[in-house]
Structure formats: structure tokens, C-alpha cells
Structure 1
Amino acid sequence: MALDKLMRALRGHPVRPPQSGIKRRKSIWERIHIDPWLVGLLMLLMVAGLFVLYSASGQRIESVIAQGMRFGLALGVMLFVAQLSPSTFLRWAPLAYGLGMAMLLAVEIAGDIGMGAKRWLEIPGVIRFQPSEMMKLATPIMVAAYLNRCQLPPRLRDIAVCGAIIGAPVVLIAIQPDLGTSLLVASAAAIVVLLAGLSWRLIGSLAVLAGAALPLLWMNMHNYQRQRVLTFLNPESDPLGSGWNIIQSTTAIGSGGLWGKGWLEGTQSQLEFLPERHTDFIIAVLGEEFGLVGMLALLTLYIVIVGRGLWLATSAQETFSRLVAGCIILTFFIYVFVNVGMVSGILPVVGVPLPLVSYGGTSSVTLMAGFGILMSLHAHRRLLPR
């Protein structure tokens, strides 16, 4: 028996763990490929988001109901995606990426314009959505699918191919214009490449090249995007114009103090001084009404979700699963970090919603689909010999 195990190991076959006489019965959570702890944490975050949204939307119960229905759809998508196998994601990655690129081109040709940007596709009477949100998942999964066929760590040629895979959707999203989403798509896919095992020398070289490209990026930015960067450096330079958002958000957070002014009692939000208070700047509403304690409680919940996600990601043992699982949870962390940094004034305003708290449907569905993929990868993990 021992010789048979050794021969199987030498041939590259996994050794099955010894079977005990008693076969453990799977729980219902294991049968439907759901991690109850992660789902419970995400639902708690959704409830907190609805609670804050009621105040941020001007106490409009219609907005809360609409968001709750979106959360229900997002949970359904998560449950469905969790039933799919990693091989399915690997097989369908090129199709999802190609479909996303086609929709981005459709946006450029016949997209719906809103707030000065062409970012949406609309099927009259059916749905209105942002194809760029889909690329937050499709692009990194496509990069992981390509690297799965390569020898790791990736060679320079493989990195160049990954750069082309990443660059195509990033450029199409940036010209909508939507700099925030384009940077998030780029960062999500870049995490996959980093997890593939780049050397520090190569990382340093790429960082130098990125720094050298900053003047080119600046020259190709829209005027309002340049103004956002300048406002970040000095918000007081235009307090009634481009600096209004960040001044009002920091004022709201600071006026909340330690315990806050109380639910529905925030002056900056209720008197509508705070712009986009139900979307990008919703955490400023939380800070004003629940103070530092409320913000720390929400951030702690995010940290626990990220920690649980990382624990699930560590069980991934195949290249594709490991890259995708790590990317999903680290990207979620980046979303939170960018939004909080943007609202508190330590990062430029780039229009990134707070995950599962800000008002919006496409973003919520995309995020929950990502968590569904993460739970699927964990449920379909393979046991390796000790």
C-alpha cells in the first residue's frame, strides 16, 4: 500500500487521504457550496447599508426598497455562481471577456449618457446597467486563465500579453470617461499578475515605467479629472467649485465627533450640503450621524469579511483557483480603501462606491458574483497529501 502511494506521487497523481470507517454527512451549506460565516457577514453589511441609505437618501423608503431588491438579486446571483465549478470559470473566461469588450464598444457607439458620461447600456423597459462593472471580474479572470497555461513565475512575454488583455478594457472604460472604474479594473487584473510570482526586480522596473508614464496620463486626462487631482492637493483653492465635495465630506465626518449626532440628525447630509451622499460619499453620512465609533464598527466589519475571504482563498491549491481567489478578496479590500481614502481626503476623488453600502445595483451584483466565485473555488478545492 505504501509503495502504491509512493508510485502515485511520483507520477504526479494526488494521494487520497485515508478513508475512515465513518463517512461524515455534509451539511446543507456544504451541499450548496456556501460559506455561512461569509454570507452572514455580507448580509450584516447589507443591512447596515440599508440603514444608512434611509438617512442618506433623505428618508426615502422607495430607495431602501429598491436597494433591498437589488441585494436580493445579488444574493441569488451569488448562490447560482457558487454552484459552478472552477473548470467552468476557466472554460468560459474568454467568452465573458469577449462579451464584456463587445458591450464596452456598444457603450461607445450607442451608450446612454448620464451626468456627462457615456457609461450605461439600456434595454428600454427592462434594464439599465454598466458593462464596465462586468469587466471588474471578467478581466482578472481572463488574465488568470492565460497565466494558468504559462510557466510561473511569468516571463516577460507573458507579462506583455497580460498587459494587452488588461489595457484594452481599461482604455475603453477611461474614454467613457470613468477613470475610477478603469483604475479598479487595472488594479484587479494587476493583482493576478503579482500573485503569479513576479520578482521584486521586475516589480521595481514596472513601477519605474509606470512613473515615467504619468506625464502621458496627465496629458490625456479630461480637464475635470486634472482638476480633481489639483483639488486633492489643495481643496481650499476652489471651495465653492471642485473643492466643495471633499470639504463638505471632511466637515461631515469631523462634526460627528466620537459618538455622532444621531441617526437622521446629520446637518451636512439632511440639509443637502453633502453631494452624492447616497452613493460615493455615503460613509460621510455614517461618520456624521454615528461618529468615529460608527465608522470604526463598519471598517471592522469590512476587515472581518476580508479576513474570512483570505482564509477561504488559502485553501485554493491549483494555479487558476489561487490567482482568482486571491484577486477577488484583495480587490474588495482596494474598493473599501479607495472609497474611504477618497471621502476622508487622503486620495483624489475618483468616483468609487462603498461596497454593499452605496446605492447602486450593478456594483452590488458584481461584488456578490465575485464572492460566489470565491465560495465555489473553496467548495471545489482538492485535497492534497500531507
Structure 2
Amino acid sequence: MSLQRPPLWQIIKPHLVVFDGALSLILFLLLSVGIVTLYSAGMNFPGRVEDQLRNILIAFIVMWIAANVSPQTLLRFAVPVYTVGVTLLIAVALFGIVKKGSRRWLNIGMVVQPSEIMKIAMPLMLAWYFQKREGLLRWHVFLIACLLLIVPAGLIIRQPDLGTGLLVLAAGFYVIFFAGLSWKVLVGLAIAGAASLPVVWSVMHDYQRQRVMMLIDPTSDPLGKGFHIIQSTIAIGSGGITGKGWLMGTQTHLEFIPERTTDFIFSVYSEEFGLIGNLVLLLLYLLLIGRGMLITANAPTLFTRLLAGAITMIFFTYAFVNMGMVSGILPVVGVPLPFMSYGGTALVTLGLGAGILMSIQRHRKLVQT
């Protein structure tokens, strides 16, 4: 008597239950909006949509792998991943490849950008650090945490890569804040930061100063440094309430918007879908952040709470900084719009973060059952 094979669904189901339904739906909608917008933005760039679909597939695989890794395993790998990341950053400073005046890449048989590793390695390390000191949080614990954060962030900013450096700083800060950093310390840090602005200005690179000046008055150099932001804000404003319609953006297709498939894709979206489209997009990001915060609130350990909270706030930081710089309320720092901008590295990093959130949610359910 031959054994009956189980139904196909029963074979596939164990491999799919690792995905969080609500989070997966939100990501699917964001990626779909991104592909639709990229199709319009990249009409003069053959192969962009196909490349992005490949990037999405790679990010999906990374997300699936991360969702299958238990938080306990992540805890064990926190220190090695952080150590490797910092070591590679030091190697970049000593032997890195220079492109367009920046030393950000390292050839280890293949060209890699180690700063991307720290976007996840940083919150992973600090979450491990605070987990090991749960119940013993004193001022010196937070001081050491700040040192663990400042070293890699400083190496990244020195490359120079201000955008990635700020993202790594933000990721680490969120962990320290969620661990219980006093509001008095935060106020003190804010005052100290404001007082140090003249020093910061003096050590900034010329292009960084120019970006700040263009934020204040982009019309001072309308055909040069201010061109990006002027054309971007024109595109956003010209979209009106309902937008000009898909594939109908004049600023986009007359090639006035720079970097329209990457950092400035929000300008393309705003011109074609208008205020209503922007409200829908903001709602999707709010749902993404809300779902991440719900996972954070229900996480069973300090490590998973800190890690989930930091990853969720990284999503928020990506979206806020990108929309802010494209809209002219923040300096241009080269931060992509999450799950929409063209590019493989950022998308894989974001997919890894989403997979970790799904792992935390899944293993919480396993503990409860």
C-alpha cells in the first residue's frame, strides 16, 4: 500500500508561516507603489525595472532567511557581526577604494561597502549589550554604549558619508533611548549639540556646507548646487491635489528631476499622484511603523524589544529624512526612500530589518504556544 503524499499546501505552509501577514501586506503595497513609480521615472533608463525586481527578489530571500533565524541566534551573532563591521571600516580607512572623493568601498575579492553592515550591526550590538546588563543600568553603562556607537559612526562620517553615518547614529541612539536614557541627559545632549555647531561647521567638508547653504537659499545657485532641490520642489508643487497622472509628469520626463529613480523618486511620485497619493503613501509608512511598534511592544525580552524598536525607527528615519530633503526642509544627504527607491544595497538592508521583525513576532508566538 503506497503512502499518500500530503497536499501541496501542507508542504509549503511551514515555509510561509515565518512571514507576518500584516507586515508582509504593507511591504507588498509599498514595493508595488515603488515599481509603478520607478517604471515612469526610469523610462529613459532601460533595465531599471527589471533590475529592481531582481533586487526585490534578493531582499525577499534575505528577509525569509532572517525570519527563520531565532532571536537567540541573533543574540549570539551580535558581537561577531559588530566586530567584523568595525574591522572592515578600519580597513576602508586604510586601504579603501576612492570614488568621487569618498573612500567608502573595500575590495575583498568583491567590492563591498562595510558601512551598510552597521545599519543592522549597530542596533544588534547595543541591544545585546543592554540585554547583558538588564537590571544594572547605570550612567557608565550608557557611556560605554555611546562609545560603541561613536566609533563606527565616526569612521563612516570620516569617509565621508554623512547620510549613512547619520543613519547608523540614529539606529544606535534609538536603542540607547529605548533602554531608558534619562530625559535630563537628552536635554543636556541637545544643549551641548547646539553649542558645538560652530565647531561642527568648521570641520565639515565644503560640499556638506554647500548643502546646508542650499537648504537656506537654493536660489543663490539655481543652476548649480541649488538645482536639485529647486526642481524637486517644483515637481512636488505642480502635482496639485490629484497629480498629473501616471506617466504624465512633465518635470520627470523632461528630465528636470535629478536622481529621479533613486533619492528623488518621491518627487516623481508627488508630481504624478499629487497630494492624495502622498497621503496614501504616508498612511502606508505609518502602518509600517505602527506594525513595527506593535511587534516591539509584544516582544518577550529586552533584547528583542530594543532591536525591534530600533529597526522600526530606522524605517521612520529613512522615510522622514528622504521626504524632508526632497521637499526642501532638510539638507540633501543621500538617503533613499524605503522600499521605493531604486538600488539593491539599501533594499537588502531594509529586507533584513523586516525579516528580523518577523522573526521576533514569530518566536513570540512560539513561546506563547
In the alignment, what sits opposite 1:135?
A: 118
Alpha-carbon distance, 1:216 to partner: 2.2
Separation of aligned partners in 1, 2:67 and 2:48: 28
1:109 aligns with 2:102: no
Aligned partners of 2:62 and 2:351 also within 8 Å: yes
1:313-347 deviations in Å (ceiling 9; x for gaps): 21112111110011111111111011001100111
The farther-off stretch of 112-121 and 80-89 is 112-121
Instruction: Indicate the larger mover: 99-108 or 325-334.
Output: 99-108
**Alpha carbons of structure 1 residues 279 and 113: separation in structure 2 relative to 1, 3 Å:** farther
Q: In the alignment, what sits opposite 1:20?
A: none
Contact 1:152 1:197 in 2 (8 A): no
Contact 2:66 2:356 in 1 (8 A): yes
For residue 217 of structure 1, what is the aligned residue in structure 2? 200
Corresponding residue for 1:361?
A: 344
Measured in 1, the distance between the counterparts of 2:57 and 2:215 equals 37
1:332 lines up with 2:315 in the alignment:
yes
SS of aligned partner of 2:256: coil
- Tell me which residue corresponds to 2:154: 171
Instruction: Give the equivalent residue in structure 1 for 2:70.
Output: 85
**Is 1:270 matched with 2:253?**
yes
Matches within 5 A, 1:231-380: 231-380=214-363
Question: Residues of 1 paired with 2:22 and 2:313: CA distance?
Answer: 18
Corresponding residue of 1:54:
39
How far the C-alpha of 1:384 sits from its partner, in A, is 8.9
Any stretches of 5+ residues in structure 2 without a counterpart? Answer: 1-9
Where does 1:116-195 land on structure 2 (aligned, <5 Å)?
116-122=101-107, 128-152=111-135, 154-195=137-178
1:198 shift after superposition: 1.7
1:123: how far off?
6.0
Cα 1:188–1:289, aligned 2, differ >3 Å: closer, same or farther? same
State the Cα deviation string for residues 236-258 of structure 1 (Å, max 9, x = none). 12111211111110001011111
Q: Which secondary structure does the structure 2 equivalent of 1:118 belong to?
A: strand
Instruction: State the 1:214 CA deviation.
Output: 2.3
Compute the displacement of 1:106 (Å): 2.9
Moved more, 307-316 or 354-363: 307-316
**Deviation per CA, 1:273-303, whole angstroms, max 9, x where unpaired?**
1111111111001111111112221121111
Structure having the larger proportion of residues in helix: 2
Q: Is the 8 A contact 2:299 2:364 kept in 1?
A: yes
The residue number in structure 1 matching 2:29 is 44
Q: 1:153 to 1:271 in 2, by over 3 A?
A: farther
> C-alpha distance in 2, partners of 1:306/1:299?
11
For residue 361 of structure 2, what is the amino acid of its counterpart?
A: H
Preserved contact between residue 134 and residue 302 of structure 2 (Cα < 8 Å)? no
Change (3 A) 1:133 1:261: same
User: Which segment drifts farther, 153-162 or 318-327?
Assistant: 153-162
Structure 1's 52 and 368: CA in aligned 2 closer, same or farther, altered over 3 A? Answer: same
Is the contact between residue 52 and residue 286 of structure 1 (CA under 8 Å) also seen in structure 2?
A: yes
Separation in structure 2 between the aligned mates of residue 121 and residue 290 of structure 1, nearest angstrom? 40
**In the aligned structure 2, how far is the partner of 1:110 from the partner of 1:359?**
29
Structure 1 residue 91: Cα displacement: 0.9
Are 1:76 and 2:61 matched, yes or no?
Answer: yes
Aligned-partner Cα distance in 2 for 1:252–1:122: 39
User: Identical aligned pairs, as a percentage?
Assistant: 49
- Per-residue CA deviations over 1:164-198 (Å, capped at 9, x if unaligned) read 11111111111111101101100110000000112
Deviation at 1:29, TM superposition (A): 6.6
What residue ranges of structure 1 are gaps of 5+ in the alignment?
A: 1-24
Superposed CA offset, 1:196-216 (max 9, x none):
112221221222222233222
Contact persistence 1:54–1:61 (CA under 8 A): no
TM normalised by structure 2 equals 0.91
Report if the CA contact (8 A) 1:46-1:356 is conserved.
yes
1:67 pairs with 52, 65, 83, which one? 52
Q: For this pair of structures, how many residues does the alignment match?
A: 358
Q: Is the Cα–Cα contact under 8 Å of residues 153 and 198 in structure 1 kept in the other structure?
A: no
Given the two structures, how large is their TM-score scaled by the length of structure 1? 0.87
